[in-house]
Amino acid sequence: MKRRTWLLSGLGATGALVVGWGVLPARSRLGTPAMMLPTQGDVALNGWIKVRADGGVTLAMHRSEMGQGIHSALAMLVAEEMDLPLARIALEQAGMDSIYGNVAMFVGSLPFHPMDSEGDKKPLLVQTGEWLVGKVARELGINATGGSSSVADAWAPLRQAAATARASLLESAAAQWQVAASDIKVKAGMLSHASGKSGHYGEFAKAAAGRTPTAVVLKDPSQWTLIGQPALRTDVPSKTNGTARFGIDVRLPGMLFASLRQAPMLGGAVQSVDDKAALAMPGIERVVPLTPVAGSSAGFAVVGKTTWHTQQAALALQVQWAQRGQGGLDTERIKAELTSQLTSEKGFAFHDRGSVDKAEAGAARLVEAQYHAPYLAHATMEPMNCTAQVKGGQVEVWAPTQVPGMARAVAAQVAGANIDQVTVHVTQLGGGFGRRLEVDYVAQAVQVAMACAGKPVQLTWSREEDTTHDFYRPMHVAQLRAAVTAQGTVDSLRIKSAGDAITPRWMARGLPALSGPVDTPDKTTSEGLFDLPYGFVHQHMSHVATQMGVPVGFWRSVGHSHNAFFSESFIDELAHETQQDPLAFRANWLAQAPRHLAVLKMAADKAQWGSALPTGQARGIALHESFGSIVAQVVEVSLHNGAPRVHRVVCAIDCGTVINPNTVAQQMESSVVFGLSAALYGRIDIKAGEVQQNNFPSYPMVQLAQAPFVQTWIVPSTRAPSGVGEPGLPPLAPALGNALFALTGKRQRSLPLQA
């Protein structure tokens, strides 16, 4: 299939190619005041900004806070443009209007090589694809927090909205005072003139509401006082004093509680149930059968007075379960099937340059290796939960969700209600990592609420249900081969991977009206492989899309999470095979990638690459770009009682313009710990359809005593901001694996890593 033909078909699969796309209006994302929640005494100036009577500002918050600090970062953009202290920015949940949709996330899903997508001289195909997807994404307005895209998406529209509001207020004051707007100064939300006149924003809000400003100018970076400066996160006080409200904290008058019992085997069904013992237990009111919706499993919800009562009763249900018709899933068989398809199927070529076939035919030797990554669970600290009430023809949902619009749509579907009869309240999220891009738990909660005569019901999954009924990071395998000349130069690189594609399955579950064929090429399968920065003359990267039957979903850094392990481990193998230092080898092939080279050198310099380490320790290095940001990491490791012990991780990152350097450092630390848990322990095994790991003893996390010292260094940049929440994870596993090879001489090609 020609690349241009595939591009259009791929856009169709993600809902971007719709009838009449060529005549869609280019709508502004500024919005109108009517889009904001009306509150007495406050005046909305557009779809984002509302001025309070005391001169403070309320921002329509359209992204979910799940520990990544986005509530603070977006508030900082508004505070900067409006010359307000950060403490004067309040937040309210944004509505469901299309201006709040995530355009950057969908544009970022296009499978273009980063070298083609940078700068002003982009190829026509890249320009056309980005324009088309951006245009349609604005129309669809799918609100999602994911893909490390929140700041990147808000960078232009949110600053524009704040600057427009500021200009309207300034011009209103100028008209009232009969002075030139250019003569008015603004500081900390106070407007003043040399004549002695002064006032705060609230005094001019009503006059500004009907005004279209004549001059809206974004602040020059030289005038920034907040952006780029360390700032305390606004969500921390409530999280430390216990007043933050997560989904699991919702309490409503007369609320009931519910717990789950789902089919233990993936894809299983109910044959029969005996609920007499459960219903006879104290505090239990009813047992509700659950119809699988949005990817959820067959099973039951037990409703009662407390979560503890319902969890005990759920275990007392006597259920006969039926295996899926195709037989029980098994990870060992899946791994064998993936390996078989890797060699027998051609796959889709995401990137092709030069002639790899000729290079391999003329090579002095070939270096080849096969890598493997297992299924992984999300294991968020707050298990899946949702509170719902169906009463008087209205549906109300309280959910820790990354996709409020999709949650609203599935609630309407389950309740048989119109979409405008559904209200979704987004709480804080006790971890997301992509798991809360799904809405299965919302569908279940609404089903339960429908059976409870108008009472609100909080459905909470147990840790065991959460671990064994996840949408897992898919298992993938990859074959990597390089041609080496007689002079010891790498002449070509071929990478072929195999594994399930996530995006088509996620679309089918949550956005069925927009989903396309499940076999449409999905960028997430090959990201981190097809888009490497190294300048090998001949390259060919392809992927074999499979359908193994295990429910798969987005997991922090998605395909990059395992593909970086494949590619950066093999790059280290090539350095070893050509008898070169791993740092020098990478630097040699980054001549055409100066940003990557600068990040690599910064990490190496700060880690003192090449200097002596204590006896029994070794270093490893890895470099990876994801979500528009480039991260290099140096890991220092030893063996302790036969197990790997990571002492220090040095990170360097180029993420464009930095909003809050504190948050960047926090997200690098978070990514290292999350990635280290996966690299050392993470695996999901399935036998006879049943997931074998069910709680933290069998699916462990890195504990405090095992956490390494993490140092973060930021490369200065004037580029627009790019992702931070996920890019720190992909380099961790290969850097650790490379360090273990330097320490032991043993090359590990499967995760999790061992001694």
> What secondary structure does DSSP assign to 687-739, as a single string?
ETTEES--STTTS----GGGPPEEEEEE----SPP---TTTTSTTHHHHHHHH
**Per-residue pLDDT tens over the stretch 655-676:** 999 999 999 999 999 999 999 9
Name residues whose C-beta falls within 8 Å of residue 43's C-beta, 6 or more positions apart in sequence: 33, 50, 51, 205, 206, 208, 209
Query: Is the model's pLDDT at 300 over the cut of 50?
Result: yes
Beta strand 457-460 with 256-262 is: parallel
**Per-residue pLDDT tens over the stretch 40-85:** 999 999 999 999 999 999 999 999 999 999 999 999 999 999 999 9
Return d(Cα 448, Cα 257) in angstroms, integer: 10
The tokens for 83 are 């010359």
Task: Give the confidence band of 682 by pLDDT, cuts at 50, 70, 90.
Answer: very high
Give the number of other CB atoms < 10 A from CB of residue 192.
14
- For residue 642, with 0-12 CB atoms within 10 Å meaning exposed, 13-18 middle and 19 or more buried, which class applies? exposed
Q: Tell me the average pLDDT across 620-638.
A: 98
- Report if pTM > 0.85: yes
Beta strand 643-654 with 709-714 is: parallel
The tokens for 189 are 């939300």
Geometric angle at alpha carbon 419, from 415 and 423, rounded to 5° = 85
Contact 477, 497 (CB under 8 A): yes
**Per-residue pLDDT tens over the stretch 458-486:** 999 999 999 999 999 999 999 999 999 99
Return d(Cα 741, Cα 718) in angstroms, integer: 37
* Mean pLDDT taken over the chain: 94
The predicted structure's pLDDT at residue 125: 86
Beta strand 348-353 with 284-290 is: unpaired
Query: Is the model's pLDDT at 11 over the cut of 60?
Result: no
Q: Tell me the average pLDDT across 26-36.
A: 88
Query: Is the model's pLDDT at 9 over the cut of 90?
Result: no
What domains are defined for the chain? 31-102+141-240 (3.30.365.10), 247-325+384-460 (3.30.365.10), 331-376+472-744 (3.30.365.10)
Return d(Cα 701, Cα 693) in angstroms, integer: 13
What per-residue string of b and e applies to 216-229 under the rule 16 or more CB within 10 Å gives b?
beebeeeeeebbbe
Geometric angle at alpha carbon 442, from 440 and 447, rounded to 5° = 100
The tokens for 718 are 């004037």
Name residues whose C-beta falls within 8 Å of residue 572's C-beta, 6 or more positions apart in sequence: 582, 620, 621, 622, 734, 737, 738, 741
**Per-residue pLDDT tens over the stretch 370-406:** 999 999 999 999 999 999 999 999 999 999 999 999 9
Task: Give the confidence band of 121 by pLDDT, cuts at 50, 70, 90.
Answer: confident
The tokens for 153 are 């998406």
Half-sphere exposure at residue 192, Cβ-oriented, CA atoms within 13 angstroms: 8
Return d(Cα 35, Cα 60) in angstroms, integer: 9
Name residues whose C-beta falls within 8 Å of residue 466's C-beta, 6 or more positions apart in sequence: 377, 379, 380, 383, 384
Return d(Cα 261, Cα 609) in angstroms, integer: 52
Query: Is the model's pLDDT at 18 over the cut of 50?
Result: no
Query: Is the model's pLDDT at 14 over the cut of 60?
Result: no
Q: Tell me the average pLDDT across 720-737.
A: 98
